[in-house]
Amino acid sequence: MSALRIVIADDQASVREGLVLLLGGLPDIDVVGAAADGEQALALVAEHAPDAILLDLHMPVLDGVGTTKRLAAEHPEVAVVVLTTYADDRSVLAAVQAGARSYLTKDADRTHIAQALHAAAGGLTVFDPRAHAMLLAATAGPAAAAAAPGPAATAEPGPGPDGLTPREVEILRLIARGLTNPEIAAQLFLSNHTIKTHISRIFAKTGSRDRAAAIGYAHRHEIG
């Protein structure tokens, strides 16, 4: 397998250079560029067409959230993994909603970072559990409870028919309740790309040609 081509963006030179050395020393990672801000990162992505980018949230000129939005619009094929210094960083939620596929804290070791980059490039997500807990807490409260579809949507789903995984059952349930892809992504703290990937697998497993057919399948199997 060819090495995963990545760009690293962090405004702190010591962190940036350390990440280049750490990740560049792995046989399955090829660091094709390093940027000190979001604008430089976008230029490097346009120049090198990497598979993924490791992106600091807090940078001058253009921060991680703004850069993620631009990447999602201009280079949707590039997987975004955001880095945060603190697990309670409130910018993480905005980055995930903007299209980041994964997020980690900066104390993650190089093996974990490399795994997250490979997973994100493959359409999967890796969340730092401490930051994930913060996001769940941040969205809790009366407003979030009122917006939620109901207790069944937050309950842990079991395996479904036709080989549907618990996550696919959960997403199919939300489809049946009329939620759009961005709404499902926001509720489950996943990227739009990941939701699309799950939905494609749901359609294949259920023999559904479109969303309406999937909803019909959900109703027939009492998923909703």
Encode pLDDT of 52-64 as tens digits.
999 998 899 999 9
Domain that includes residue 97, residue range: 4-135
How many structural domains comprise the chain? 2
Distances (CA, A) of 192 to 40, 151, 159, 213: 25, 23, 23, 21
Domain boundary among 135, 150, 178: 135
Task: Look up the CATH number of the domain holding residue 169.
Answer: 1.10.10.10
pLDDT of residue 66: 94
Same domain, 27 and 124: yes
Same domain, 23 and 40: yes
Pairing of strands 79-84, 102-105: parallel
Same domain, 185 and 207: yes
Ranges of H-type helices in the chain? 13-24, 38-48, 64-74, 91-98, 110-121, 129-138, 142-147, 151-154, 166-176, 181-188, 192-206, 211-220
Single pTM value for the model: 0.62
Task: Look up the CATH number of the domain holding residue 121.
Answer: 3.40.50.2300
Query: Nearest CA to 167 among 143, 132, 138, 195?
Result: 195
Same domain, 125 and 178: no
Mind listing the pLDDT tens digit of every residue in the chain (224 residues)? 689 999 999 999 999 999 999 999 999 999 999 999 999 999 999 999 999 999 998 899 999 999 999 999 999 999 999 988 866 667 777 888 888 888 888 888 888 899 889 988 888 777 776 665 655 555 554 444 334 443 333 344 456 788 888 888 889 988 888 888 888 887 777 778 888 888 988 998 899 888 888 998 998 888 86
Encode pLDDT of 168-213 as tens digits.
888 998 888 888 888 888 777 777 888 888 898 899 889 988 888 8
Same domain, 47 and 155: no
